[in-house]
Amino acid sequence: MNFTSSTAARPAARSSSRIRWLAYFLALACLLWVLHDIHPEKLLHDLRGIRWGWVVLGIVLDLLSYVVQGVRWRLLLLSFARVRLSQTVRAIYAGLFANEILPLRSGELLRTFLISRDTSIGLTQVFTTVGVERLMDGMVLATALGAASFFVSLPGEFARAAKIFGVVIFSLSVLFMAGVIYLNRVPVLPEGAHPLRHRIRKKLAPLLEGIRVLGTSAGFYSAAATSPLIPTLQILALWAMSRAYGIGLELGPMAAVLLIINFGVALPNAPANVGSYQFFCVLGLTLFGVEKTRAAGFSIVAYLLLTIPFLFFGFLAVARSGLSVGDIRSRTSELFGSPEAPPAK
């Protein structure tokens, strides 16, 4: 046993445990706020009036959004190797399943591992594509939040947080593109570099090369063009669910509600975004005049009806991958920084 490695891993494990318990506490606090001061009779009346045709449409649109995400991810991965769409979609659904049962968005790590395992692409390169995906999502979200602010008055603290988020995403995008331009002019490992700089760049070489290849590939720009379609399908799915529940908001307000939800759950939190999803859904709906009991009921019903289907498909994806729940836990623990984490290919 490597005593030094084990000792070094303990503070990281304690830190991860504290973050996890904080996420659970915040989730509980959010749920208590959502359920506080609602009217059970009105809630039951709304539940009895659900229109299931709209529910089916919402579920189909939501599931389709993850297929489009699989298309986008495949376009990014094609910079390194040919990957089948079925592989990316299956990995995404397996990751969604992991997010439902594990905290801190562990599914992002699991889907990275699955693609790296099943293809010739190194783990670092796959991580790079996932990071670029998140950057694209952030750009779409920041742009949409900016547009939504012209049509709805966002709460003061939320509006300030959205502005900070937009500045951070814009800065990261500029840094990414600047890095691509720089790496195309200067070799990743230039000759005659200072020994310390050479060692650092050698360690970062797979990541830097991944950024360079991604930023100059045709797939990168095709993937960027595909990105707005993902939230569009999710907006339509949430709007269909609102029609099913009898909430009379039009497509524009429901788009703003989804943006508020997505912004609110962007940070790692409790498994499956429990609590934070309901909190920000109710917050968004009440901004448009929806009564709190109806908003709270919708936040729970929409969450369950949209989560259960991809949980089912995620379970099938995990089963097809040959992993058990125990395997998922151990693999994601390794990828979070355990000394036994598999090296990049």
User: Residue-wise pLDDT tens for the chain (345 aa)?
Assistant: 444 444 444 554 555 666 677 777 888 888 888 888 888 888 888 888 999 999 999 999 999 999 999 999 999 999 888 999 999 999 999 998 888 877 667 788 889 989 998 898 888 889 889 988 988 898 888 888 777 777 677 666 677 777 787 888 888 888 888 877 777 777 665 665 556 665 666 666 666 677 777 777 778 889 989 999 999 999 999 999 999 999 988 888 898 899 889 888 876 666 778 888 999 999 999 988 899 999 999 999 999 999 999 889 998 998 888 876 666 666 666 655 543 344 433
Pseudo-torsion of CA 235, 241, 246, 252, nearest 10°?
Answer: 0
Closest of 200, 226, 227, 204 to residue 125, by C-alpha: 204
* AA identity, residue 135: L
pLDDT reported for residue 4: 44
Residue 152 DSSP code: S
pLDDT tens figures, 263-295: 888 766 667 788 889 999 999 999 888 999 999
| Residues contacting residue 173 through CB under 8 Å, at least 6 positions apart | 135, 139
How far is 121 from 143, CA to CA, in rounded Å?
Answer: 32
Q: Could you give the percent of the chain with pLDDT greater than 90?
A: 30
Q: Helix 292-321 vs helix 276-287: angle between axes, to the nearest 10 degrees?
A: 140
User: Euclidean distance between the first and final Cα of the chain, in Å?
Assistant: 25
Hunting for tokens 């547009």 — which residue is that?
147
pTM: 0.80
User: Domains of the chain: which residue ranges?
Assistant: 23-30+39-335
